[in-house]
Amino acid sequence: MKITGSLLKMKSEISQPIKYYLPIGSESVEMNSLINKPVRFTFENQIFCTNCGSKTYKSFNQGLCYPCFQSSPSASECIIHPEKCQAHLGIGRDMEWEKKYHLTPQIVYLALTANAKVGITRKPQIPTRWIDQGAVQTIILAETPNRYLAGVIEVTLKDFIADKTHWQKMLKNEINTSVDLIALKEEMKSFLPSELKQYVVNDSQLLDLNYPVLEYPKKVKSMSFDKLSVVEGTLTGIKGQYLMFDYLNVLNIRKHQGYVVSIEY
């Protein structure tokens, strides 16, 4: 089977293990069925912006052409620094977009990827955001009415807990099993000032996530279509937005959104 088209990040579905689907052009490939089988990706030397559709020589911010990177609200400063979001003040690159994405309920969460981390996401993005990060366990800490307040909570807690995923440890499944997310939530709550504690969610339900991986690699080697025209091997696992080949090589699908490739399997 051979399919050619532009890549988008994998879609996922809660299951035991997680089910993954790869959008490529107008098709969707069910990836779990390809585990332990040879798969070949060939880059067709074309990249199209996922926002405006124009052809671009280089991808910025996981799929944008440079003009969209400069103007799109999805690439604004507050995507990386949510505490700088000004949508609640009526300020943004596109207020209609802001109303849809930043002036809606936001979740502050704790996740175990390798070590524990704090993060935020839009409420409808649960559990997709957690799966994309390769989290093995998560808990909701707080729910806010906008991105700014979620960002303020996150930046308040960054002095006590990481806000980044160590992607190599995540892919090697080097998990700090001593972490108790329920106890950690109570600890993080204690660091919040009174005006932010009102957003804390009392429910302490844990979500455990399992991934379709034959065996986790001891080492990982990142591969990219910016350097290689062909990525191939036996698909040995999927975690986060990464495909694992031959218990070593990994391909970040999200990084290559908009790249035109052919998949053969």
CA distance 181 to 71: 38
**Type of residue at 77:** E
Residue 204, domain extent: 104-208
In a domain, 43, yes or no: yes
Write out the two tokens for 162: 């990481």
Q: Given this model, what pLDDT does residue 32 score?
A: 98
Instruction: State the average pLDDT over residues 102-109.
Output: 98
pLDDT band at 116 (very low <50, low <70, confident <90, very high): very high
Query: Pick from 185, 208, 231: which residue ends a domain?
Result: 208
Q: Given this model, what pLDDT does residue 84 score?
A: 97
In a domain, 21, yes or no: yes
Mean pLDDT of the chain: 97
Q: What is the tally of structural domains in the chain?
A: 2
Task: Specify whether 123 is located in the same domain as 163.
Answer: yes
Hunting for tokens 């690159």 — which residue is that?
A: 93
pTM to 2 decimals? 0.95
- % residues pLDDT > 70 (the chain): 100
Per the CB < 8 A criterion, the answer to whether 220 and 18 are in contact is no
The tens digit of pLDDT for each residue in 188-224 reads 999 999 999 999 999 999 999 999 999 999 999 999 9
pLDDT band at 24 (very low <50, low <70, confident <90, very high): very high
Task: Specify whether 236 is located in the same domain as 202.
Answer: no
Instruction: State the average pLDDT over residues 144-148.
Output: 98
CA distance 115 to 77: 26
Q: Given this model, what pLDDT does residue 252 score?
A: 98
CA distance 256 to 47: 9
Q: Given this model, what pLDDT does residue 222 score?
A: 97
In a domain, 88, yes or no: no
Task: Specify whether 60 is located in the same domain as 113.
Answer: no
Task: Specify whether 47 is located in the same domain as 128.
Answer: no
Per the CB < 8 A criterion, the answer to whether 150 and 106 are in contact is yes
Task: Specify whether 108 is located in the same domain as 204.
Answer: yes
In a domain, 149, yes or no: yes
